[in-house]
Amino acid sequence: MAEKILIIDDDVDTLRLVGLMLQRQGYLISAASNGAQGLAKALEERPDLILLDVMMPDMDGYEVTRRLRKNPATVSTPILMFTAKTQLDDKVTGFEVGADDYLTKPTHPTELQAHVKALLARAAPRENSGGEDSNALQTNQGYVIGVLSTRGGLGVSTLASNLAASLFTRAQTDVILAELTPGQGTLSTDFGMPNQKGLTEILQGSVVEVTREKVLSTLTPHTSGIKLLLASENPRDVTLISQIENYEALLSRLKALGRFIILDLGVGLPAFVQKLLPKCNECMVVLEGVPGTIQHTKLLIEEITALNIDRKNINVVLNNRQRTEAQMAWANVQEKLGHSITATLTPAPELFMQAARMQTPAVMSQPTNITSQQFLKIADSVIEREKAR
């Protein structure tokens, strides 16, 4: 597989010319136009080499290097400083903060290529010396499921929380439930954990502050065995859905902290959901069997596939919330939807009332209930898909 090089430079011409030159040499190229964006991409994409400019307005290359060297994920990533600063003291500073090599602009393409090859060659033995542990690190990425619907009140949070609890019951492993709808949180009330600010703090801060340690500190254990990252209920926090880079960094950290990560994505396809869904292993769409919702869900599925998500990774759950003749049979819903229905949930208002009193997922309050068994069957299917990936 071709090595990936991340170029961090605020000069558009440098990004374009150097990127094109290295791309012609067979490298995969990723680019960032400032320090904060570069840090986020370095943590998310784990490049084989970082080509870093020193003089940038928001955060210079020295500070970027310091932060990269403080993070265990990038502590050994080769860094080649590429800058117009030619003084000896500048080079010394670069090496002191952790750069592996230093080139001054302008430089001949052949010289740049030689330095890049040398750095990558020196890095390869370090990567290979890890043996089985190194391979485990490569594959130790959690299985991510995004849960959403076309409108509110269809049971997204109910499915997400009960799926998370069911996965823990079946697999007895690290399961994280992340409610990613700031200002619209409901799970904190459901689980008796008011005034949750973890997600708000992650989205309010700089993207470089979304570290593994910070995300880990925001996770709250629940008696069901799952770990929770809960959204606030403050309506003002809804504006935080614009913090897309923070969302991406958050998901990258979560994937390293659990075997299963369930994302409560709420309603529709806001910009952050469009960014996160392609990073999920699968998504679950919740609907009910009434004509309007079926039509809207059909449109939602089409838009999800437009994000280059395979339809086979879109699992539809029919949630029959009420005992009423107005609900269509699953076969009719499936025909009108034009997409297979993975699972159907039976109406169980008494079960959910009891779960609310106990402040726990329904599947934990009455495991033998028929609806609880349906949640557990969904979890079994997820585990099979996770093992087969």
Three-state DSSP state, 148: strand
Sign of the CA dihedral 159, 160, 162, 167?
positive
Q: Are 261 and 299 in contact (CB under 8 A)?
A: no
- The pLDDT of residue 214: 85
Least Cα distance to 83 among 6, 30, 7 occurs for 7
- Using a pLDDT cut of 70, give the percent of the chain over it: 92
Phi, psi torsion values for 281, nearest 5 degrees: -75, -30
Q: State whether CATH 3.40.50.300 applies to domain 142-388.
A: yes
Q: Is the pLDDT of residue 248 over 90?
A: yes
Contacts of 48 (CB under 8 A, 6+ apart): 3, 4, 5, 77, 78, 120, 123
Report the C-alpha gap between 136 and 107 in whole angstroms. 39
Superfamily of segment(s) 4-136: Response regulator (3.40.50.2300)
Between 30 and 2, where is the model more confident?
Answer: 30
- The pLDDT of residue 133: 39
List pLDDT tens digits, range 302-342. 999 999 999 999 999 999 877 666 678 889 999 999 999 99
- The pLDDT of residue 132: 38
Residue with tokens 């500048």: 90
List pLDDT tens digits, range 130-169. 443 333 333 458 999 999 999 999 999 999 999 999 999 9
Mean pLDDT (whole number) for 240-251: 94
Report the C-alpha gap between 148 and 277 in whole angstroms. 10
Residue with tokens 């964006």: 37
Three-state DSSP state, 283: strand
Between 11 and 322, where is the model more confident?
Answer: 11
- The pLDDT of residue 18: 87
How many residues are there in the chain?
389
Average pLDDT, the chain: 88
Angle at 215 between CA 153 and CA 237, to 5 degrees: 45
Q: Position 69: which residue type?
A: R
Residue with tokens 């970027």: 64
Order of strands, edge to edge, in the sheet holding 101-104?
28-32, 4-8, 49-52, 79-83, 101-104
List pLDDT tens digits, range 172-221. 999 999 999 999 999 988 888 877 888 999 999 888 788 888 888 899 88
List pLDDT tens digits, range 256-305. 889 999 999 999 999 999 999 999 999 999 999 999 999 999 999 999 99
- The pLDDT of residue 131: 40
Provide CATH 3.40.50.300 ranges for the chain. 142-388
- How far, rounded to the nearest angstrom, does the alpha carbon of residue 39 sit from its chain's CA centroid? 16
Q: Are 163 and 379 in contact (CB under 8 A)?
A: yes
Report the C-alpha gap between 362 and 375 in whole angstroms. 9
- The pLDDT of residue 282: 97
Residue 266 gets the label, from left (phi > 0), alpha (psi -120 to 50) or beta, of: left
Mean pLDDT (whole number) for 112-129: 74
Residue 125's pLDDT band (cuts 50, 70, 90): low
- The pLDDT of residue 301: 97
- The pLDDT of residue 270: 97
- The pLDDT of residue 71: 83
- The pLDDT of residue 226: 93
Provide CATH 3.40.50.2300 ranges for the chain. 4-136
Mean pLDDT (whole number) for 88-108: 79
Three-state DSSP state, 152: coil
- Helix boundaries (H) for 129-232: 131-139, 156-171, 187-190, 198-204, 212-218
